[in-house]
Chains A and B, each alone.
Chain A
Amino acid sequence: MEAKAEKIVMPGDIIKDTQLLNKKQKIILGPGLRTDGETVYACKAGILKHRSNVFYVDNFQKRYIPSQGENVVGIVTQKAGDIYKVDIGASEQASLSYLAFEGSSKKNRPNIQIGDIVYAKLLVASKDMEPEIVCVDSFGKKGKLGVLSTNGMLFTCSLSLVRKILKPNCPLLRLLSDELKYELAVGINGKIWIKSKTSVEDTIAVANAILAAEYTVPSEFPQLCDSIMKSLVKLK
């Protein structure tokens, strides 16, 4: 079976599009594609996407596979000597050193309890090694990373939904911010933390809007936001 870009591919399909490009041009294969000799095969079921010389498969997935440099939301589950163990939804728990916070030192440890939620960046992610996360960038600044406040709400959703709402042209979060005031941290691992400044109802409304967005096309987001806002008004 052959397949073209923006088409549905199934595992085992041979991808012919990569041969159309100039032989000298380097081709980058993203997630969902693998090579066997000269042939390119799909190994996930989804839509084949293609941007200049980058090819990948956009598929539905719930289980997170760590990948270097991605921002994730996790829950601290264990304190063991110099490191914290953080559940990021992958097959293994990630480790987070207490030195990987802004301004922390051996004497000045960050105050983190078991059950806290952290927004962190994956420093090491390899299939054979335990993932390692940090809450600072390479300049030692925390930026947006760090411990998230305890009076927010954390929920889990599919990885494709996270990618959908994080797309630069996705209007959902902008539409919601016109009506409600909220803070949120979206982890590419399918965990989203939300905190509304005003009330618990608002927090839940934002969460519902995000979850409902999974099976809604972007052009229908304004209607979706309207209906969420209407039900919120009724509640109050």
Chain B
Amino acid sequence: MTENEYSLRFLNCELNYLSVTDGSAIFMQGDTAVIAGVYGPVESKLHKMFYNKANVEASFRPMKGPPSVNDRLMESYIKDVCEASLITSLYPASSISVNIQELEDCGGLLASVINASCLALINSGLAMKFIFAAVCCMIDKESENVIIDPNMKQLNNAKAAFTCVFDNLNKDIICCQTSGRFTEKELLKSIEMCRETVQTIFTFYRDIVTKYATAI
């Protein structure tokens, strides 16, 4: 295994990018860029209210046009991951909404969207059990090699693509999205490789928070 295969594309982020939201982040992974904004806890609508926990909502806006069926699926991934990490019982009868706007998709959009929403949640100061980070990987059609964090060009030659989300406690997997045809062995190997890479993103989060916390 060479060093290159475990490396991610260039990561870049700015926190508190939007003025109106309670927490926001603009996040770039390679050429894939997204903006995430978090509102919450705000007053919940009556029919969506839970008396013992906060209602978490996610909405995803693609670069152009209204959200499609696939975008709705993406929203459900974001919602479930955010709900798992937030301590929703601290904010009963309220609503927390996570809004994502796609700016550019050059591969690994779901991973970037999940990382951006984590940074926005960190910025919002909501209580969380753990933080999460997503890594995208794929299996090449010809060489059958696992490539970590592929770009659009590489993804066109993919036999299968995976996005795995991990927490920072024990690096347990909390969400996994797959596409294409693959064997169980290939999946487990890919997950293991993503797990080894994910520390880079957690270190990146810590660097960003350090940069902002020392400035205020």
Contacts and interface: CB of A to CB of B under 8 A. Distances in A.
Interface stretch (A41-49, A75-83, A144-152, A173-181): A41-49
Interface in B52-92: 85, 87, 90-92
B22 interface: yes
Dominant secondary structure at the B interface: mixed
Nearest to B94: A91
A46 B91 CA distance: 20
Dominant secondary structure at the A interface: loop
A215 B215 contact: yes
Contacts of A65: 41, 91
Interface in A175-219: 214-215
Given A43-B87, A128-B92, A62 B124 contact: yes
How large, as a class, is the contact surface on chain A? 20 to 34
A11 B216 contact: no
Contacts, number: 97
B131 A43 contact: no
Interface residues of B, number: 39
A1 B126 CA distance: 20
A11 B212 contact: no
Interface in B75-118: 85, 87, 90-94
B213 A8 contact: yes
> Which 9 pairs show the lowest CB-CB distances between chains A and B?
A61-B125, A12-B130, A11-B128, A63-B22, A43-B127, A91-B41, A91-B94, A45-B122, A8-B210
7 contacts: A10-B168, A10-B202, A11-B168, A44-B128, A46-B125, A59-B125, A60-B125
